[in-house]
C-alpha cells in the first residue's frame, strides 16, 4: 500500500536518491530543499503525480511547518520523515568563527529538531517513522571538522531522545551513519583539495570494501527503516560504512 513520505535535502545526494527510490516503489513523496531549480529539474525528470515539491530551509521553522502542511493538504497524511539536509564546514575551534558554528548547527542540528517537531503531530496519527541522516562522525571524529562533528553527535542524541519520548505512541526514530558517500558535496571537497586524486584514493581505501558508497545504497537502507519491515527497530544508529568503523586503525594488512 502506498505511503506518504516527507524527504528533505531532496535536491541532491542521498536525499535525492531517497526520493527516486520511494517514487519508484509507488509512494507519495514531498521533496523539500532550498534549491528550487534542482527540485524543478527533479520533478520534470520523474514526472510523477505522486511527487510534491516544497521549497524551503530546514533551519526556518515556518518552512518546516509549511512542508508538513503542504504534504497533508495533498496526500492527507505523513507516514515518515527522511531527514537528509546538511552542510559540511571545516575548521578547529580556533578556526571556526561563531557565525560559521551557528550556520552548521542551524542546518544540521536545529533543522533536524524543527523538522521532527513539525512532523510529529502527523506521525502520531499514522504511527510513523523518522530516519535521520547521521554520519560515522556521529560516533567518531575527523580532525579539523569541529562544528560538523558536534552537529552529527547532537543529531544522534536527538534521535535517541525522540525514539524514547515517542515509542509508546508507536513512532519509530532511527539514524543512519554512512561512511564516505559519492555525493556532490563530497565531490566538491575532493575537487577543491590540493591533491584530488590522492584524496579520492584515500577515501576509497579507508573503507575495507575499498570504495566509497553510492547514494542509492544508503537510500535503500532509509526506505527499509521507514517501512513496516523495520517495525521493531527504534532508537538505533545503523552504520552503512563499508566496514570503516570495524577496522582497527593502523592494524597490519594480511593478504
**Sign of the CA dihedral running 242, 246, 250, 254:** negative
Q: Annotated active-site positions, please?
A: 148
Q: Tell which phi-psi region holds residue 140, choosing left (phi > 0), alpha (psi between -120 and 50) or beta.
A: beta
Amino acid at each position: 500500500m502506498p505511503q506518504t513520505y516527507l524527504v528533505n535535502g531532496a535536491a541532491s545526494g542521498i536525499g535525492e536518491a531517497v526520493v527516486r527510490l520511494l517514487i519508484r516503489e509507488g509512494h507519495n513523496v514531498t521533496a523539500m530543499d532550498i534549491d528550487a531549480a534542482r527540485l524543478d529539474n527533479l520533478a520534470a525528470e520523474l514526472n510523477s503525480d505522486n511527487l510534491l515539491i516544497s521549497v524551503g530551509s530546514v533551519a526556518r521553522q515556518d518552512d518546516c511547518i509549511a512542508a508538513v502542511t503542504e504534504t497533508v493538504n495533498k496526500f492527507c497524511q505523513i507516514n515518515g520523515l527522511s531527514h537528509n539536509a546538511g552542510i559540511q564546514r571545516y575548521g578547529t575551534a580556533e578556526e571556526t568563527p561563531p557565525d560559521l558554528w551557528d550556520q552548521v548547527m542551524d542546518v544540521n542540528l536545529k533543522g533536524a529538531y524543527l523538522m521532527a517537531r513539525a512532523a510529529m503531530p502527523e506521525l502520531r496519527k499514522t504511527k510513523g517513522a523518522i530516519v535521520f541522516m547521521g554520519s560515522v562522525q556521529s560516533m567518531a571524529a575527523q580532525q579539523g571538522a569541529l562544528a560538523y562533528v558536534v552537529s552529527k553527535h547532537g543529531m544522534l542524541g536527538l534521535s535517541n531522545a525522540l525514539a524514547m519520548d515517542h515509542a509508546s505512541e508507536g513512532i519509530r526514530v532511527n539514524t543512519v551513519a554512512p561512511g564516505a558517500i559519492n555525493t556532490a558535496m563530497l565531490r566538491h571537497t575532493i575537487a577543491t583539495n590540493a591533491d584530488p586524486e590522492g584524496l579520492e584514493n584515500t577515501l576509497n581505501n579507508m573503507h575495507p570494501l575499498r570504495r566509497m558508497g553510492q547514494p542509492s545504497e544508503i537510500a535503500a537502507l532509509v526506505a527499509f527503516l521507514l517501512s513496516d519491515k523495520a517495525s521493531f527497530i527504534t532508537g538505533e544508529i545503523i552504520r552503512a560504512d563499508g566496514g570503516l568503523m570495524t577496522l582497527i586503525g593502523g592494524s597490519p594488512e594480511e593478504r
